[in-house]
A = this chain, B = another copy of it.
Amino acid sequence: MDLNEFRKHGHELVDWMADYFEGIENLPVRSTVNPGEIIKQLPADAPDEAEPFEVIMNDFNNIIMPGITHWQHPGWHGYFTANNSYPSILAEMLTSTLGAQCMSWLTSPAATELKENVMQWTAKMIGLPDNFTGVIQDTASTATLVSLLTAREKATGMSTNANGFYNFRPFTIYCSTEAHSSIERAVKIAGFGKDYLRKIEVDEFFAMRTDKLRLAIEKDIRDGFEPLAVVAAIGTTGSTAIDPLDEIGELCKKHNIWLHVDAAWAGTALLLPRMRYMIKGIENVDTFVFNPHKWMFTNFDCTAYFVKDKGALIQTFEILPEYLKTKEGNTVNNYRDWGIQLGRRFRALKLWFVIRTFGVKGLQEKIQNHLTWANEFAGWIEKSKNFELLAPTPLATVCFRLKPETWLSEEALNQLNAQFIEAINLTGKIFLSHTKLNGKFTLRLVVGQTNTEHRHIEKAWQIINDTALMFA
């Protein structure tokens, strides 16, 4: 493919992309293919000869596209959203063209300094104190791992990096029973062992019980363990419950325990000053993560990770072989030392394009709408005789289930709702995912897709009711 062909096909793709968004509501949200249906259409060997772009695009349209689940469909209400937006996509076009590998300041001064700048913007936009420094990571899983490793090294004076767990210190880590699976994964990776992860009981609203946390910490100290870190959730994955950061922070302060906040989804809501009650107590927090790639209209992957002790972070990860030395040394930021990976993409650009294109007010307006509509939807559920709310709606995720007026056992209700959600998703008009809350099969309706408007929420409600009729 030469430059002229690239230009020509590039223009064709822009039309494909715009047409995709224009027609997206005609596509089933969840792909309708069966396992194995895509791969059986693909040859087992790579082609020896070059193939024309038209042939590849033809296969893309006919083989790949039917297997796409459309995360950018306005009827997407599953998991959490992984939003893109027009300015974000445009920025990604530039990023992939420049192909800059931003490990050091020298290898991309602009990426390095724009990242510093846009992370400063972001910290202020969500109301973090100015003693936090930001860096973009790929995912919250990585950020949480980075946080726990930094805690480990800070507590051991960098000696675990040096000697491993040779002088075993039985560190204990704490999160709620509703916390995200990435915490357990990080605890395993870092060598703590999941037996030392204390999953603290939650209250009736699925937030961590501080009294139970205190008892667990005190017991561990008595038993000779060393409480190392608490991971508090601002918006759990199941029901977006908000752990009481203020109380947790006081406990951590008292016992000199590292405090990481996982606000992967909910962090974006902090754009609205009224929502900052969620981070009351932030002064006792060591690290904070949220994902602009979830709810802030910036293509996956783009995780905003904030850290108070920048020095400890860098000390935990820095390695300086000769081939990476540059004349600027550490008078500049070399982000290769700020996490797991050496290589880094130019992710700051898309965040910059998004923030400027929407403006802070534009972002706030969208988030406000999502909160309003989710609460409106929760109201419809509450009023209805056929449904039951299973958790509060502090943000934009509604947890509910079908509950017919005739009595059914909990087991029967769980089975009914598993069938119910499948029937909803089979309509192809909307997509919901599920969790379990107190053992109850729970449908989760997340309001937050970039392209979702009020009419889509009304439509979702209608589809849910129409589908419920099949189960009456």
Contact = CB atoms under 8 A, between A and B. Distances in A.
A171 to B, nearest CB: 8
A45 interface: yes
A387 interface: no
Contacts of A1: 85-87, 357
Interface string A50-79: 110101100010011111111110000001
A390 to B, nearest CB: 13
Given A17-B93, A110-B65, A114-B64, A360 B53 contact: no
A421 B444 CA distance: 59
Nearest to A9: B90
Contacts of A331: 35
A162 B195 contact: yes
Given A10-B18, A86-B1, A327 B422 contact: yes
A468 B293 CA distance: 49
Nearest to A350: B96
A21 B3 contact: yes
B21 A108 contact: no
9 nearest interchain CB pairs?
A191-B191, A164-B193, A67-B110, A165-B165, A10-B14, A84-B99, A7-B18, A38-B113, A92-B96
A408 interface: no
A53 to B, nearest CB: 7
A139 B341 contact: yes
A176 interface: no
B357 A141 contact: no
A79 to B, nearest CB: 7
Contact of A113 (B67, B301, B342): B67
A406 to B, nearest CB: 26
A156 B437 CA distance: 34
Contacts of A352: 56
A121 B343 contact: no
Given A99-B71, A355-B46, A194 B343 contact: no
B317 A185 contact: yes
Interface in A1-49: 1, 3, 5-7, 9-11, 13-18, 20-22, 30-31, 33, 35-39, 42, 44-49
B191 A160 contact: yes
Given A125-B46, A193-B164, A342-B182, A97 B84 contact: yes
A110 B40 CA distance: 11
Interface in A73-113: 79, 82-90, 92-94, 96-101, 105-111, 113
Contacts of A87: 1, 53, 56
Contacts of A36: 113
A70 B299 CA distance: 23
B105 A35 contact: yes
B121 A46 contact: yes
A25 to B, nearest CB: 12
B322 A436 contact: yes
B168 A94 contact: no
Interface in A132-156: 138-139, 141-142, 145, 149
Given A68-B111, A83-B99, A84-B96, 8 more contacts: A55-B356, A67-B114, A164-B196, A166-B193, A181-B320, A181-B342, A237-B321, A323-B444
A10 B108 contact: no
Nearest to A163: B193
A170 interface: yes
Contact of A165 (B53, B122, B168, B300): B168
Given A238-B323, A345-B301, A38 B97 contact: no
Contacts of A194: 161-162
A47 B345 CA distance: 24
A125 B158 CA distance: 43
B13 A93 contact: yes
Contacts of A92: 92-93, 96
A87 to B, nearest CB: 6
A205 interface: no
Nearest to A158: B188
Contact of A71 (B49, B100, B184): B100
A83 B17 CA distance: 24
A7 B3 CA distance: 21
A125 B44 CA distance: 11
A253 interface: no
